[in-house]
Amino acid sequence: MKECKIRIASVQDAEGLLKIYAPYVEKTAITFEYEVPTVAEFENRISRILERYPYLAAERDGELVGYAYAGPFKERAAYDWAVETTVYVRKDQKRTGIGRELYEMLENILSMQNILNLNACIAYTETEDEWLTQDSVRFHERLGYKLTGRFHRCGYKSGKWYDMVWMEKMLGEHGVEPKEVRAFPEIRELAEERFGLR
């Protein structure tokens, strides 16, 4: 398998990343989104995330094959040390290690920002079908995430009700005086240099 290059995504990647995301919207319950966003909306999403958190793109042979990013867990100040993580891999590149590489790099950068809690919101079903399997839960378990909660029949898609689970992973110790969280733009140059993200 050819080596994967990971770099910081930009709004110019929106169309390519949307091609990765669209099949998940149209043919799965992995995302509870019904309509594929426009390129302009996806550009806006990337731009908003990069104001505070990393948004990563993975390439093989010059083609976009996956992406991962962190977003706010909640907007209130006391939640600053917690993020929600997201990863998508192009369908024909699943189970090739791209998701793991993206998440490991995401964790490295979030640690530099002094983030402590990683939270993943995952669609879930007891009975796997053509729209949803338990692959995402198993993937997160392999990366050290633990199941923390479950909401029953909270998402309706493709004529069926699906559950949602939260999984979490801790990146560091929760001291009495945690280090101040640094916005991604503050540490971007250092992260690019340290991890070869160019």
Burial of 164: CB neighbours in 10 Å, binned 0-12, 13-18, 19+ = middle
Domain ranges of the chain: 5-195
> Structure pTM?
0.96
Paired with 140 in beta bridges are: none
The confidence score (pLDDT) of residue 3 equals 80
pLDDT digits (tens, 9 = 90+) for 54-76: 999 999 999 999 999 999 999 99
Indicate the pLDDT class of residue 1, thresholds 50, 70 and 90: low
Paired with 85 in beta bridges are: 70
Q: Give the pLDDT mean for 72-98.
A: 96
pLDDT digits (tens, 9 = 90+) for 132-153: 999 999 999 999 999 999 999 9
Largest Cα–Cα distance of the chain, in whole Å? 48
SS3 content of the chain, % helix, strand, coil (to 5): 35, 30, 35
Q: Give Rg (Cα) of the chain.
A: 17
* 5-195 carries CATH number 3.40.630.30: yes
| CA gap 53, 66 in Å, rounded | 17
Paired with 4 in beta bridges are: none
